[in-house]
Structure 1
């Protein structure tokens, strides 16, 4: 057990140092070092100005009471191959090897 703890010590120290570095950078950026805060304030000011210039005169119409709505269970599968491949690559990165333990999958 002591060997295991001794082997984990460098990983814990490294994790602690990376966390401290990340916090130091975050605090430094929040204090305005590198003009991060001033850039955020500029973006906020520009967004406020753009929203004030929007036309707020919106006219709504009533929904027709006799409208017939229906749903469908079909879908167009174009483009799903890319999503499937990206999802599989992501899961392969996160989960190494087979998720299920041997013997847990019963095929009938």
Structure 2
């Protein structure tokens, strides 16, 4: 199980090619990111708890803005080096999404 990340300039299409809107991706930390996010309460009020480790989840720029603090808090509390690197990538992509009008962060689960 792993979660890959892609930042898109607009809503990516699930059918066909999403390469037209792709700005940046993170593919090397999938399993570590899934482990880190699995610690969150799925019924809680946080945005990152919404991420489906087995399917796809999209955050728009407003959701990314809210989730930035969650990711920073998780990263600070993390003691596993691989998970910390994964959360650092996530935090960077959330920041980029939050500051790019019309963008989406795509969480692609296995």
Both structures adopt the same fold (TM-score exceeding 0.5): no
Q: TM-score, normalised by structure 1?
A: 0.18
More helix as a share of residues = 1
Identify, as 1 or 2, the structure richer in strand. 2
Higher relative contact order (CA 8 A, sep 6+): 2
Higher-Rg member (1/2): 1
